[in-house]
Chain A
Amino acid sequence: MRETSPTRGAGISDQLLEGILRGSRPHLARAISLVEDGAGEAVRLLSHVYKRRRMASVVGVTGSPGVGKSTIVNGLVGEFRSLGRSVGVIAVDPTSPFSGGAILGDRVRLRTHTTDDMVYWRSLATRGHLGGLSRHTGDVIALMDAYGFDEIVVETVGAGQSEVDIMKYAETVVVVLAPNLGDDVQAIKAGILEIGDVFCLNKADLPGAERTRRDIEMMLNLREESGWRPPIVMTQAHTGEGLSELVNAVNSHREYLVSSGLLEQKARQSHLAILNEYLSLLTVEKVLESAQVDGSLERALKDLSSGNSDPLTCASELVKRHLT
């Protein structure tokens, strides 16, 4: 399949949109970069892309560092492919706060479907964004959706308690755990354990798996009753053991979302999350910009260092002054 790569310059957003709709990988790849870079051209591109969404299913995979998320994503890709579904993957790793650079290492685990035209894998860096994803993950999902993938799988950064943004974008969140995290299960129960729709106890070949399963079970008993009881699936991702059960669990959750009417609510939630992201971006930008111009930012900083004011008061005054 021969593709002409996009060229920079006038009309780039139209070029990219046309390429994405025609199924050109270089165009999709370039478009994701523009969106991630917050380039001006991305605004026009996205305004068209959001009108071309096809509603792919979005699965999130999250869990502590090294539990096997990428290995599982590789396995999920294989399972989805054997069902004839095309797959887009987004794998997020942290940006170094010191250099602003990042090493994106999740591809190391991608060992099958590496040149399959129905699979697209993209590594993203957080670029300082908190919550376990990049700021524009929602937009990247929209791009992949418009391109036409049936399934979109998102791997978060190695997450603990507060990296829970994935629940805003994924219909089904798979929380991955490994045995003998005994204390860990305690430690993370307030965070990612609460957002799991499916629990995947990976590395089931290691000792202690059964005990950890019981720990998770107990934790789930404490959760508020709802129409969905998250299943616990035991996997050995490096051999593929348990992965078809994992996909079955994901599919069951999806059916539950449809039959209960919750799917619509999830979509609203994800739209709200993206809106939120842009609102805070735009308002913070606007306030800081005009506060810089008229000197009120400088005055606020002086008041803070002299102890004449406090951050909340300063912020409210700046907002009042520049947003109304």
Chain B
Amino acid sequence: MARKIRVLVGKPGLDGHDRGAKVIARAYRDAGMEVIYSGLHRTPEELARMAVDEDVDVVALSILSGAHSTLLPKVVQCLLREKGQSSLDVLVLAGGIIPEEDIPALKAAGVDEVFGPGTSTQEIVEYTKTHLKREVA
């Protein structure tokens, strides 16, 4: 039996919009995954702690506040510290309103992929399934 894939859908920062986060959470659930929803306004430290304690394979961050360039790299750093790893075994994804020109810096900081507002949930789920960093067997 294949093990369950677990996903943390996280809302870093101050924006109070979680429609997008809830849509992607449902899409992951409908793909058979177990989704932990963080709730609004979480700090990078809180999100990293959740990801470790919940033993997730994926951290999917939804951010609309415009603070992605500071918050997302911090989440990655906190994850590395909490897990004591030099390279993460967790797939880190981001979505929301993130301008094209900010993406290279985010990727350099350890975010694995960034999805624009137009991306379909199927596309995100498919990407997730095919880019997991831990074995699913």
Q: Do A and B come from one complex?
A: yes
Which residue of chain B is the closest to A37 with respect to CB atoms? B3
Given A4, A33, A38, A107, which contacts B38 in the complex, CB threshold below 8 Å? Answer: A107
Given B37, B52, B84, which contacts A104 in the complex, CB threshold below 8 Å? Answer: B37
Contact with B along A9-39 (1 / 0, CB 8 A): 0000000000000000110011011001111
**Nearest CB on A from B77, distance (A):** 13
A198 contacts the other chain (CB 8 A) = no
* Highest count of chain B CB atoms <10 Å: which of A2, A39, A96, A102: A102
Given B35, B39, B84, which contacts A2 in the complex, CB threshold below 8 Å? Answer: B84
Residues of A within 8 A of B54 (CB): 29, 122-123
Residues of B within 8 A of A251 (CB): none
**Nearest CB on B from A257, distance (A):** 29
Which residue of chain B is the closest to A108 with respect to CB atoms? B39
Residues from 73 to 119 in A contacting B, C-beta threshold 8 Å: 95-96, 98-105, 107-110, 114-115
Residues of B within 8 A of A3 (CB): 82-84
Q: Contact: B6 with A33, CB < 8 Å? A: yes
Q: Contact: B30 with A107, CB < 8 Å? A: no
Count residues of chain B with CB under 8 A from any CB of chain A: 35
Q: Contact: A123 with B36, CB < 8 Å? A: yes
Residues from 36 to 65 in B contacting A, C-beta threshold 8 Å: 36-39, 42, 45-46, 49-50, 52-55
A125 contacts the other chain (CB 8 A) = yes
A309 contacts the other chain (CB 8 A) = no
**Nearest CB on B from A117, distance (A):** 9
Which residue of chain B is the closest to A101 with respect to CB atoms? B29
Residues from 1 to 47 in B contacting A, C-beta threshold 8 Å: 1, 3-4, 6, 25-26, 28-39, 42, 45-46
**Nearest CB on B from A102, distance (A):** 5
Known contacts: A29-B54, A122-B54. The answer to whether A101 contacts B28 by CB under 8 A is yes
* Highest count of chain B CB atoms <10 Å: which of A107, A110, A122: A107
A51 contacts the other chain (CB 8 A) = no
B135 contacts the other chain (CB 8 A) = yes
Residues of B within 8 A of A26 (CB): 52, 55, 82-84
Which residue of chain B is the closest to A7 with respect to CB atoms? B89
**Nearest CB on B from A31, distance (A):** 9
Residues of A within 8 A of B131 (CB): none
Known contacts: A25-B52, A26-B52, A26-B84. The answer to whether A101 contacts B33 by CB under 8 A is yes
**Nearest CB on B from A24, distance (A):** 8
Measured CA separation A307–B4 after assembly (Å):
38
Residues of B within 8 A of A36 (CB): 4
Contact with A along B106-136 (1 / 0, CB 8 A): 0000000000000000000000000000110
Measured CA separation A110–B39 after assembly (Å):
9
A sample of 14 inter-chain contacts (CB < 8 A) reads: A4-B85, A25-B53, A26-B84, A29-B53, A101-B28, A102-B35, A107-B37, A107-B38, A108-B38, A114-B42, A120-B53, A121-B53, A122-B54, A123-B36
Mark B residues whose CB is within 8 Å of A.
1, 3-4, 6, 25-26, 28-39, 42, 45-46, 49-50, 52-55, 81-85, 89, 134-135
The 7 A-B pairs with the shortest beta carbon distances in the complex, nearest first, are A108-B39, A101-B29, A29-B55, A37-B3, A3-B84, A100-B32, A4-B84
